[in-house]
Amino acid sequence: MLRATKHRLRAIAPPAIFLAITYYFGWNAIHGKGGLESQVEQRAALAQAQQQFATVDAERAQWETRIADLSGQSIAGDMLDSQARQVLNLADPNDLVIDLSHSNDK
């Protein structure tokens, strides 16, 4: 009887080891560090990072345009001065200023 048991164990051992190894690699292919679940998470993180990059890149381009507009290379100095005075509600000493709020009162 002992001999028959040894014979059966020898017959069952290789397929059992093969199944254990197959299960190990199959589990790692799905749940492991480089598995399918991990790849889905990494793709979601990549999409989020690309969206953040696009937002920041658009903001950077907008700031570069504003800086280029304010530099002396792309806008005339008198236009810049005029815009600054208009924003600050100031007048140049050489400008002629007409107050329209009191001109209708007679």
What is the structure's pLDDT at 89?
77
Residue type for position 80: L
**Least confident span in 44-53, 63-72, 95-104:** 95-104
DSSP reduced 3-state for 21: helix
Nearest Cα residue to 42 out of 50, 53, 24, 28: 50
Alpha helices in the chain, H assignment, sequence order:
2-31, 36-70, 77-88
pTM metric for this prediction: 0.49
Average pLDDT over residues 58-84: 77
Given a cut of 70, is residue 105 above it in pLDDT? no
Longest CA pairwise span in the chain (Å)? 129
Q: Dump pLDDT digits (tens) for 24-46.
A: 999 999 998 888 899 999 999 99
What is the structure's pLDDT at 104?
56
Burial string for 4-25 (b: 16+ CB within 10 Å, else e) reads: eeeeeeeeeeeeeeeeeeeeee
What is the structure's pLDDT at 55?
97
